[in-house]
């Protein structure tokens, strides 16, 4: 077994440990049995079959596993295109973080009438963040899932969603990314960078989450962030946002963030509630404030050259699959949030929703209407005036509804 395969199996086994949300609960013997069974199925039927069986809860059924393996083999042998779909998250994450990666695999295969077979590589097996986006841009991975903040260095146009307090709410974000304005002004620029958006999906807005041991009480207003070491991702806009709020933006690699919080290198971070739970921050945080500045949004992005080389019928099938995936994602948002919140409450995390008065202070201090953002609007769109069209789109109810925090 080579090193790459060993690493992939190790990540998959960690997914088995987390898949049903049983960390720290009784059942170590059962988990060990599942790990052994996963290894056995991987050796017998292949990695993809073992992942699908684990997600379906049929690891211990020889008959069901054999049937899954047979279906996967038949699909792959009959497919015109065999592609890789790489994601950052474990199979089963949808329970708390609505990324529906198994739905994406199934929809691509089914809407294409079997012309596409998807090899799923979850849990960061092929990289995360900007590393994964780079692989999609280069064409070594056909489809990848990454946050818009990590996508921004390769496709700067999408970084506009990180301008604070204009599309932070779920409904405004969905109105925006399904609008003609977004298609014409943003997706056009994304394609120039070598990507073809499959679909943008909704998670929930970013938060202001405080580490344990920092101080009592939640972040209620920007005044509470004065001097706070706020962990930020790769987005330059988010760094500027926290400077305007009086915080000290602190870049920390995502994988190092839990230890940075425990050691006091960082005091706070801003992912959505679902992301905080999915990545194990429940035992690190004291308060999560739903201040809703920007969407903590994601995208399934395709390599444009690969997509352009497909036949017309397959392209249309991908569009239909994408439409269905988006609707499934929107329906899953409140259920995932409810699960994440319930589990984090068990760990002692508390939640705070700012008043309208308090939210107004956040917006006044650092919102997209401030002149400090005009240069970025001009750099990305050519003129600050074009930004107003995006604002109007975010505030115009589209054909989709999504639950808000």
In a domain, 399, yes or no: no
Q: How far apart are CA 235 and CA 151, in angstroms?
A: 9
Instruction: Determine, yes or no, domain membership for 352.
Output: yes
Q: What is the pLDDT of residue 91?
A: 83
User: What is this structure's pTM?
Assistant: 0.84
**Pair 324, 240 in one domain:** no
- The residues, ordered by sequence, that sit 6+ positions from 269 with a Cβ below 8 Å of its Cβ are 209, 230, 231, 257, 261, 276, 281
Domain that holds residue 309: 3-157+170-202+297-332
pLDDT, residue 9, reads 53
**404 belongs to a structural domain:** no
Q: Which strand (E) or helix (H) includes residue 386?
A: helix 385-394
Domain edge (last residue) among 280, 315, 332: 332
Q: Does 149 lie in the same domain as 254? A: no
pLDDT of residue 12: 55
Q: What is the model's pLDDT at position 30? A: 45
- Asked whether residue 244 falls in the same domain as residue 282, the answer is yes
Residue 3 confidence (pLDDT): 45
Q: Please, are residues 150 and 234 in contact by the beta-carbon 8 Å criterion? A: yes
147 and 48 fall within a common domain: yes
Considering the domain boundaries, does residue 318 fall inside one? yes
- Interval 270-301: pLDDT, tens: 999 999 998 899 999 999 999 999 998 999 99
User: Which of 310, 332, 354 is the last residue in one of the domains?
Assistant: 332
Number of domains, the chain: 2
Residue 229 and residue 152 in one domain: no
| Residue 403 is assigned to a structural domain of this protein | no
Q: 199: closest CA among 341, 325, 111, 296?
A: 325
Q: In the beta sheet, which residues pair with residue 268? A: 210, 230
Count the alpha carbons within 13 Å of 88 in the hemisphere toward its beta carbon: 24
| 144 and 273 together in one domain | no
401 assigned to some structural domain: no
Rounded distance between C-alpha atoms, residue 315 and residue 216, angstroms = 53
pLDDT at 61: 59
CATH number of the domain within which 99 lies: 3.40.190.170
> Do 91 and 145 share a domain, yes or no?
yes
Same domain membership, residue 185 and residue 106: yes
Spatial CA neighbour of 121 closest among 223, 21, 9 = 9
| Alpha-carbon span 285 to 275, nearest angstrom | 13
Task: Please name the residues in contact with 109: beta carbons below 8 A apart, sequence gap of 6 or more.
Answer: 75, 79, 116, 117, 118
Is 163 inside a domain boundary? no
Does 175 lie in the same domain as 322?
yes
Do 255 and 197 share a structural domain?
no
Same domain membership, residue 88 and residue 178: yes
- pLDDT by 10s per residue, the chain, length 405: 444 444 555 555 555 554 444 443 444 554 566 667 666 666 666 666 666 666 655 555 566 666 667 788 899 999 999 999 999 888 889 999 999 999 999 999 999 999 999 999 998 899 988 899 999 999 999 999 998 888 888 888 888 999 999 999 999 999 999 999 999 989 999 999 999 999 999 999 999 999 999 988 999 999 999 999 999 876 788 899 999 999 999 999 878 999 999 999 999 999 999 999 988 999 999 999 999 999 989 999 999 999 999 999 999 999 999 999 999 999 999 999 999 999 999 999 999 999 999 999 999 999 999 999 999 999 988 888 889 999 999 999 999 999 998
Same domain, 94 and 233: no
Dihedral sign computed on CA atoms, order 16, 18, 22, 24: positive
End position of a domain, from candidates 279, 308, 332:
332
pLDDT at 89: 87
Q: How far is CA 294 from CA 1, 35, 232, in A?
A: 44, 39, 13
Domain contains 162: no
């Amino acid at each position: 077994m080579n090193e790459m395969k060993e690493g992939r199996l190790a990540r998959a086994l960690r997914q088995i440990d987390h898949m049903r949300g049983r960390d720290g609960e009784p059942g170590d013997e059962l988990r060990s049995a599942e790990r052994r069974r996963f290894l056995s199925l991987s050796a017998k039927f292949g990695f993809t079959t073992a992942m699908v069986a684990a997600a379906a809860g049929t690891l211990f059924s020889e008959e069901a596993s054999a049937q899954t393996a047979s279906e996967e083999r038949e699909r792959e042998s009959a497919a015109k295109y065999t592609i890789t779909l790489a994601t950052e998250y474990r199979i089963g994450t949808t329970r708390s973080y609505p990324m529906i990666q198994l739905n994406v695999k199934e929809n691509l295969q089914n809407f294409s009438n079997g012309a596409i077979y998807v090899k799923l590589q979850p849990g960061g097996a092929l990289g995360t963040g900007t590393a994964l986006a780079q692989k999609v841009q280069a064409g070594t991975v056909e489809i990848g899932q990454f946050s818009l903040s990590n996508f921004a260095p390769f496709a700067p146009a999408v970084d506009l969603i990180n301008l604070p307090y204009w599309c932070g709410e779920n409904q405004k974000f969905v109105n925006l990314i399904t609008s003609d304005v977004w298609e014409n002004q943003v997706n056009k620029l994304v394609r120039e960078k070598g990507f073809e958006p499959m679909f943008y999906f909704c998670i929930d807005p970013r938060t202001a989450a405080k580490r344990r041991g920092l101080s009592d009480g939640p972040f209620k207003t920007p005044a509470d962030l004065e001097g706070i070491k706020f962990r930020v991702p790769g987005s330059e806009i988010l760094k500027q946002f926290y400077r305007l709020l009086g915080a000290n933006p602190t870049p920390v690699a995502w994988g190092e963030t839990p230890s940075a919080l425990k050691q006091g290198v960082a005091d706070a971070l801003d992912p959505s509630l679902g992301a905080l739970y999915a990545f194990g921050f429940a035992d690190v945080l004291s308060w999560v404030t739903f201040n809703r500045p920007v969407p903590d949004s994601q995208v399934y992005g395709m390599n444009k050259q690969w997509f352009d080389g497909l036949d017309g019928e397959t392209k249309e099938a991908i569009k239909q699959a994408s439409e269905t995936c988006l609707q499934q994602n929107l329906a899953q948002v409140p259920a995932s949030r409810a699960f994440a919140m319930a589990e984090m409450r068990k760990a002692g995390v508390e939640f705070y929703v700012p008043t309208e008065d308090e939210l107004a202070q956040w917006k006044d201090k650092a919102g997209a209407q401030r002149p400090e953002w005009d240069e970025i609007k001009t750099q990305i769109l050519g003129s600050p005036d074009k930004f107003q069209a995006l604002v109007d789109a975010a505030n115009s109810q589209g054909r989709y509804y999504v639950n808000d925090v």
